[in-house]
């Protein structure tokens, strides 16, 4: 069923009795516009699906190793520079090299990663889309699994559901053979797929040992290269298993890219407990003095509330003056220019005072938050003194980032210190208002 777009150009006038039917016209207009938009979207998708069936490339950026033909943006042609890298990758994989090995070889050889290479071609311009410039195992895997390099197009692998991109089932894919020049043979592609499948199955078949929770997940980094430290379990025959954190940049990117960092988890957690306790004692000591200078929480709140009430009275008085201006204009006590001049001044004052009221209200909320935070940190400090055992919840609440250097120098960025500083800044503004 086709839906025609109907434009309703009636000008709405709420004061006119003739437009009482607009209560129906406006929702109807919205329904027609929405139906029209949905119809256009369906036509575009249908056209795109037909283009896929015809063997036309409908993607935005081309796969690494290909370019778009100058005279046809839906036709892929071989990029002679990147194609040689793709051939090398498939050859290494066929010889038994793993994904990580291939990634390291590419980095050591100095080959630009796909995003950085496409930036040199002008296909990618935004900095957020170029990555860190290193080849990653997931990038290697994506290329080695892509049938496009055999001269076939497989499209429609993903789809949009509820504004989110999800992977489509295999029966929804559109595959067309021999649409463009191949970079590798189908035989080589099949051999590489077999090798990848075998490696994946071997990984699944490995004995899985239970691991203790990673308390520093997402928070521990190498102080030299900035990459996350890898947590590894070392199983010992005659003693209890231990965990270590170490930088794997030299193994995952290329040798010599980072001086490296290594530390035992127990040693790190013990040191962190000392650092947390010391920082908590220092911070709580500083801000406890601040709270004493405020006298009491109730008094501070009372002062801020009094300021809010006073400013509300000012606004009411200014609005009274505004109403008086109009009377002065009607009675010819004020000229039109004087009326508008005074009116603008009063409006500006009302706006400024309203902003002050919002700041004062924010100060009240900040004060309550600061005192609650102070109580919670006091409990955390007491917990660490009584029980040195750190928990994931405690670390997440107190620590933002941990960095470890080759010399085992540990640097910690605490979360609570900056929060207190922000609270004090806002409250200081409130006291000076």
pLDDT tens figures, 75-115:
999 999 999 999 999 999 999 999 999 999 999 999 999 99
Strands 399-404 and 220-222 turn out to be parallel
Which regions of 247-395 does DSSP assign to beta strands (E)? 262-264
Q: Give tens-digit pLDDT for 362-387.
A: 777 777 777 777 778 888 888 888 88
Contact status, residue 2 vs residue 38, Cβ threshold 8 Å: no
Give the dihedral sign, CA 371/372/375/376: negative
CA angle 351, 356, 362 (to 5 degrees): 130
Q: Could you list the mean pLDDT of each consecutive 10-residue stretch along the chain, which spans 433 residues?
A: 44 48 73 82 79 84 92 92 95 94 94 92 83 90 94 85 80 88 94 93 78 91 94 80 92 90 94 90 68 56 81 86 81 83 87 85 74 78 83 90 94 77 63 67
Strands 174-176 and 153-155 turn out to be antiparallel
For 336, how many CA atoms within 13 A lie in the half-sphere containing its CB?
A: 0
Select from 285, 214, 273, 205 the least CA-distant residue to 244.
Answer: 214
């Amino acid at each position: 069923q086709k839906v025609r777009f109907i434009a309703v150009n009636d000008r709405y006038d709420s004061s006119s009795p003739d437009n009482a039917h607009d209560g129906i016209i406006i929702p109807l207009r919205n329904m027609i516009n929405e139906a029209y938009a949905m119809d256009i979207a369906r036509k575009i998708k249908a056209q795109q699906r037909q283009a896929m069936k015809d063997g036309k490339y409908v993607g935005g950026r081309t796969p690494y190793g290909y370019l778009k033909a100058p005279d046809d943006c839906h036709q892929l042609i071989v990029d002679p520079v990147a194609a040689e890298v793709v051939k090398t990758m498939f050859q290494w994989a066929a010889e038994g090299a793993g994904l990580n090995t291939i990634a390291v070889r590419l980095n050591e050889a100095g080959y630009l990663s796909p995003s950085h290479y496409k930036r040199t071609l002008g296909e990618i311009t935004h900095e957020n889309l170029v990555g860190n410039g290193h080849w990653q195992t997931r990038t290697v895997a994506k290329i080695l699994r892509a049938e496009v390099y055999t001269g076939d197009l497989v499209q429609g692998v993903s789809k949009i559901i509820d504004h989110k991109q999800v992977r489509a089932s295999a029966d929804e894919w559109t595959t067309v053979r021999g649409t463009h020049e191949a970079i590798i043979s189908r035989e080589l592609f099949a051999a590489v797929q077999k090798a990848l499948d075998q490696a994946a199955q071997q990984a699944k078949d490995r004995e899985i040992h239970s691991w203790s929770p990673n308390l520093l997940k997402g928070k521990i980094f190498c102080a030299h290269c900035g990459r996350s430290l890898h947590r590894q379990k070392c199983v010992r025959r005659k003693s209890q298993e231990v965990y270590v954190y170490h930088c794997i940049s030299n193994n995952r990117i290329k040798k010599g890219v980072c001086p490296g960092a290594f530390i035992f988890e127990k040693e790190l957690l013990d040191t962190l407990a000392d650092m947390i306790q010391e920082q908590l004692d220092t911070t709580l000591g500083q801000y406890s003095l601040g709270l004493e200078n405020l006298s009491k929480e109730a008094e501070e709140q009372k002062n801020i509330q009094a300021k809010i009430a006073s400013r509300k009275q000012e606004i009411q008085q200014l609005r009274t003056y505004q109403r008086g201006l109009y009377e002065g204009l009607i009675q010819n006590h004020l000229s039109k220019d004087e009326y508008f001049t005074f009116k603008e001044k009063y409006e500006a004052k009302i706006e400024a005072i309203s902003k002050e009221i919002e700041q004062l209200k924010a100060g009240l909320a900040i004060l309550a938050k600061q005192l609650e935070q102070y109580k919670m940190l006091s409990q955390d400090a007491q917990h660490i003194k009584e029980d040195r055992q750190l928990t994931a919840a405690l670390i997440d609440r107190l620590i933002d980032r941990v960095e470890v250097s080759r010399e085992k120098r540990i640097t910690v960025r605490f979360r609570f210190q900056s929060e207190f500083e922000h609270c004090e800044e806002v409250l200081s503004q409130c006291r000076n208002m």
